[in-house]
Amino acid sequence: MKEFKVLMVDDEEDFVRTLDERIQMRNLDTSVALSGEEAMKKLEEDPPDVLLVDLKMPGMDGMEVLRRAREAYPGVQVVMLTGHGSEADEVEARRLGVFEYLRKPVALDQLMRTLKAAYKKKLEETMVAASFAEEGDFDSAREIMKGHDKNK
Amino acid sequence: MRPLKDILSHLLDIPDDRTTPERYRIVRRNIATLMLIITVVPLSLMTVINYFEYQTALRNEILAPMRALVNKAKYSFELFLAGRLSTVNFIASAYTYEELADDKNLNRIFRVLKKEFEGFVDLGLIDSRGTQVSYAGPYDLHGKNYAGQGWFEQVKVNGVYISDVFKGYRRFPHVAIAVQHITDDGKEWIVRATINTAKFDDLITSMNLDPESDAFLINRQGVFQTKSKFYGEVLDQSPLELPKSFEPAVIEKKDTLGRDIFLVYSYFNRSDFIFVLIKPRSEVMKAWYTLRADLLIVFLIGLVAIIVVVLRLTDIMMKRMKESDDKRLLAMREMEHSHKLSSIGRLAAGVAHEVNNPLAIINEKAGLIKDLIEFASSFPDKEKFLSLVGAIIQSVERCRTITHRLLGFARRMDVEIQILDINDVIRETLGFLEKEALYKGVTINLDLDENLPRVPSDRGQLQQVFLNLLNNALAAMEKGGAISISSFTKDDKMLGVIVEDTGQGMSEETLKHIFEPFFTTKKAGQGTGLGLSITYGIIKRLGGDVEVQSRLGEGTRFTVYIPKESPEQAGT
């Protein structure tokens, strides 16, 4: 049984495939999207626990993916991994609710730690949602768990 | 007009293409010349015009009284002669021939005459044939016949005669006056009197002439009728030629003594006499010479003043011009420098961005190789391959450090503004380095302005700035030496911090590139050359500025300026 599920979005196929392979070796369930549009489709079909997204991509860029993902699937934690971002980009990403903003190249250990931390946060949010549900506040619970309900 | 315009435009044309010192010299020369021309030319013109105007006016003013004096003197002479003439005329008319022919009567009349009028020497009656009928006086002239003599013929024609001066009785100069009387019945006689000319001398003396001047009577033949002070005795021939013009006039000439003189003369109306007044030019024109000297002095003083002022003014102007030029040049150079730095920074950031992606691929590929080797149960030369891959990953890590530092990612992202005491920040930063300074034997001198205002800035970034500068200062000193840190208020906008060391210093060439990324004087591999570039970036981001001064072998001084107001562009 894989620990949790990660969707990786990057237009640099060479990079993302290699990374995918390595993360799979570390017992995570992974899938890959090569563009923002493809990522949105995969989010719809099979929402992951954590979304790892590159910033600069042709077409829909990472920032847009982040914005939409946070809006439509608030339960999914987003980690941004980019070689291009400026400080202003980071400020903007944090404003949009990115879990962490990492810069390429990144050591795999650090990436794994970040992904796990993101997953942990997601679990915590699920628990918060559950506690809301226990108290009968299903609206809030549903709001928090929007991304998960479909999965289950 | 055209050449004037050419000269003007030539003078006003300031060459731009020359080397700087020559350019200033030319500008200075042209401006000074122009100013001198427009001031000195009118002044000189005024002086010359005044010179001639004054000369003419003063000459007229001086000569007019001389003319008046001559005329007055002439009238006195004429009045004197006319008085004597009318007296003789009266005697000839008032007495009958018989009364006058009687010596006793004539002597009585002569005695009264001498009593009433000074100067009469003798008196005589001459009949129409020219025979002396009676005589009262020092000579015995009875019976003498004058028929055929010039004066007798003249008195027969004109009725009156006044002779030139002659030496007569007792060798005194005399003048003879003769009057013809004709009665109603046609009888005619002549009364002749002689008067001495002592009175002439009295009249001349009464003119009160200065010692250098001279006045005298001469006749139309140029024979002195009175004594001249400089030119001869009575009856001598005058050495001075007079024009044969009856108009009274002034002539300027050289006299026989070699003096320049003014000669004023006037012809008598009823006798052959000419009155002459001579004044030396130097005496007459004394007032003019004084005025001329004054004029010259005023002109020279004015000229000197103008030249001094113009030269001083031009100097000041040139100095100002040079100063502002230098300032402009400096500002341009600084702007160029910061432009260069910012474009280098942009270039470096661009490169760093582009390098990051391939680096990431290398990193992952190498990582995957490492994973595969590690996960494989048996792999030939496993250790060797692992160390090779490890080296790749380490190198990637090194590259990452460089690109991330270049992009400024090593620091905290946001500029975090808080109100800071800069002195505290300096002290805190020093704490990190105290051990190293101690170890190297470097003295640290603190001269912090305790009245430094607190300013809004970023503590972490400022610490990095000071840390960089202090690290450099420490690195610049082999063993011993001193680092001085001082803080001060620069003006109402900025405060400053100086970090100064007594280390090896830098060359001009090094100074030029000091803030450029990757510029380093350390050996390859020992420094990235990013420290000061990052420092520069941070200070600029905080709205401040940094200056560096250095001399090889003497040390280096960095001055950091921090704005008192919160930097508006912070974080962008």
Return the domain boundaries, chain B. Answer: 97-284, 412-572
How many helices (H) and strands (E) chain A has is answered by 7, 5
Q: pTM above the 0.80 mark?
A: no
Q: Nearest to residue B217, comparing CAs of B170, B162, B259, B254?
A: B162
* φ, ψ (nearest 5 deg) of residue B185: -90, 15
In sequence order, which residues have a C-beta less than 8 Å from that of residue B44 and are 6 or more positions away?
B299
Asked if A24 has any chain B CB less than 8 Å from its own CB, the reply is no
Asked if A131 has any chain B CB less than 8 Å from its own CB, the reply is no
CA-CA-CA-CA torsion sign (A10, A13, A18, A22): positive
Strand locations in A34-122, DSSP E? 50-53, 77-82, 100-103
The pLDDT of residue B562:
92
The pLDDT of residue B572:
38
Q: Which two tokens stand for residue A101?
A: 């903003």
Asked if A19 has any chain B CB less than 8 Å from its own CB, the reply is yes
Strands B260-267 and B249-254: antiparallel
Q: Give burial (CB, 10 Å; 0-12/13-18/19+) of B209.
A: middle
Query: How far apart, in whole angstroms, are the C-alpha atoms of residue B497 and residue B426?
Result: 9
Instruction: Give yes or no for a contact between A141 and A129, defined as CB atoms under 8 angstroms apart.
Output: yes
Asked if A22 has any chain B CB less than 8 Å from its own CB, the reply is yes
Contact B364 A105 (CB under 8 A): yes
In sequence order, which residues have a C-beta less than 8 Å from that of residue B388 and are 6 or more positions away?
none
Q: Which residues of B touch A83 (CB under 8 A)?
A: 353, 356-357, 359-360
Q: Give this complex's ipTM.
A: 0.81
**How far is A73 from chain B, CA to nearest CA, in Å?**
27
CATH T-level fold of A5-151: Rossmann fold (3.40.50)
How many Cβ atoms are within 10 Å of B495's Cβ, its own excluded? 21
Contact B356 A15 (CB under 8 A): no
Contact A91 B359 (CB under 8 A): no
pLDDT tens by residue, B147-187: 878 888 888 888 888 888 887 656 778 888 999 988 888 88
pLDDT tens by residue, A68-111: 999 888 889 999 998 877 778 888 999 999 999 998 888 899 99
The pLDDT of residue B491:
87
Residue of B nearest to A83 (CA): B356
How many Cβ atoms are within 10 Å of A131's Cβ, its own excluded? 12
* φ, ψ (nearest 5 deg) of residue A60: -70, 125
Domains B97-284 and B412-572 share a fold: no
Q: Which residues of A touch B365 (CB under 8 A)?
A: 14, 18
Nearest beta carbon to residue A22 from set B367, B404, B409: B367
Contact B363 A87 (CB under 8 A): no
Ranges under pLDDT 50 in chain A: 147-152
Query: How far apart, in whole angstroms, are the C-alpha atoms of residue B393 and residue B381?
Result: 18
Q: Which residues of B touch A90 (CB under 8 A)?
A: 413
Nearest beta carbon to residue B357 from set A18, A83, A87: A83
92-111 of A, contacting B, C-beta below 8 A: 103-108
Contact A18 B414 (CB under 8 A): no
The pLDDT of residue B415:
61
CATH of B412-572, one of 2.30.29.30, 1.20.120.140, 3.30.565.10, 3.40.190.10: 3.30.565.10
Asked if A83 has any chain B CB less than 8 Å from its own CB, the reply is yes
Ranges under pLDDT 50 in chain B: 410-413, 569-572
Name B393's bridge partners: none
- Binding-site residues on chain B for chain A (CB distance < 8 A): 353, 356-357, 359-365, 367-368, 371, 375, 396-397, 399-400, 404, 407-409, 413-414, 571-572
Query: How far apart, in whole angstroms, are the C-alpha atoms of residue A6 and residue A1?
Result: 14
The pLDDT of residue B310:
92
Contact B571 A91 (CB under 8 A): yes
**How far is A118 from chain B, CA to nearest CA, in Å?**
21
Contact B367 A25 (CB under 8 A): no
Q: Which two tokens stand for residue B420?
A: 């800071």
CA-CA-CA-CA torsion sign (A44, A45, A50, A51): negative
Q: Spell out the domain ranges in chain A.
A: 5-151
Q: Give burial (CB, 10 Å; 0-12/13-18/19+) of A135.
A: exposed
CATH number, domain B97-284: 3.30.450.20
Contact A104 B356 (CB under 8 A): yes
Instruction: Give yes or no for a contact between B544 and B562, defined as CB atoms under 8 angstroms apart.
Output: yes
